[in-house]
Amino acid sequence: NAGVTQTPKFQVLKTGQSMTLQCAQDMNHNSMYWYRQDPGMGLRLIYYSASEGTTDKGEVPNGYNVSRLNKREFSLRLESAAPSQTSVYFCASTQDRVPNQPQHFGDGTRLSIL
Amino acid sequence: AQSVTQLDSQVPVFEEAPVELRCNYSSSVSVYLFWYVQYPNQGLQLLLKYLSGSTLVKGINGFEAEFNKSQTSFHLRKPSVHISDTAEYFCAVSSLGGSYIPTFGRGTSLIVHP
């Protein structure tokens, strides 16, 4: 039961470097999401993909790009990392884009930018 | 617009004592409510959800929550906590006719002391 798998689990970058965070789900879900978690801030939505082939901005999209590669995979890219992007990043998925389904989360990627 | 307020950022409690974690929401339409738990270095896991019907909802690990529409609250309770319940707890709300993507509270850290 893999569920949602995120890679890598940890990463340290220098300011200005680029990086792609990978996310894959094996539950045949249609909708996928990227969040960042910062102390005392809860979860903030960065981007989401309601279905394969579509992506939309969330609450905090600046400095990020996403790609919905196929139904299983949804990647998050930092083109030029900044210290303010130091955070824990979570990928999540739901079967459909309806409000009564809980989200399934990966274990997160802990990213530090120096 | 929907919003969630978790009234306590940290709740310390002794083992075997009862606990209540408070959550208030705001929405102009019908809501769906969720509680998630996050153990250290892990992703969020669903504890319980309120979709409709009985206002008292039972979840995993002995937790329960009560939906109170008049007070717009969805407080989480457990009659007797264990050391292993030490974790971060998140309340989330989504809306029928509003955003299908849940809005998360800032989290409550439950610290269980021996």
Q: Which residues of A touch B105 (CB under 8 A)?
A: 42
Mean pLDDT of A13-31: 96
**Is the CB of B95 inside 8 Å of chain A's CB atoms?**
yes
Residue B85 reports pLDDT greater than 90: yes
Residue B90 has pLDDT above 70, yes or no: yes
Interface probe with B: pick from A100, A109, A111, most Cβ of B within 10 Å: A100
Q: Can you tell me whether residue A45 is helix, strand or coil?
A: strand
Specify the pLDDT at position B96: 81
Indicate yes or no: CB of A107 within 8 angstroms of CB of B41.
Answer: yes
pLDDT in tens, A63-87: 999 999 899 999 999 999 999 999 9
Complete DSSP assignment for A53-105: T--EE-S--TTEEEEE-SSSBEEEEESS--GGG-EEEEEEEESSS-TTS--EE
What Å distances lie between residue A78 and A19, A20, A31, B73, B75, CA to CA?
5, 6, 21, 38, 37
User: How many Å from the N-terminal Cα to the C-terminal Cα in chain B?
Assistant: 41
Q: What is the pLDDT of chain B when averaged over all its residues?
A: 93
Does B102 touch chain A if contact means CB atoms closer than 8 Å?
yes
Q: Give the model's pLDDT for residue B98.
A: 67
Tell me if residue B106 falls in helix, strand or coil: coil
Specify the higher pLDDT residue, B31 or B99: B31
Question: Does B85 contact A at CB distance below 8 Å?
Answer: no
DSSP character for B100? S
* Residue A5: predicted pLDDT: 96
Angle at A16 between CA A47 and CA A112, to 5 degrees: 65
Percent of chain B with pLDDT over 90: 80
A 9-38 residues inside an 8 A Cβ radius of B: 33
Q: Does B32 touch chain A (CB under 8 A)?
A: yes
Chain A contact present for B109, CB below 8 A: no
Residues B11-51 have pLDDT tens digits of: 999 999 999 999 999 887 788 999 999 999 899 999 999 99
Distance between CA atoms of residues A33 and A41, nearest Å: 17
Q: What is the mean pLDDT of residues A12-27?
A: 97
- Whether A1 has a pLDDT exceeding 70, the answer reads no
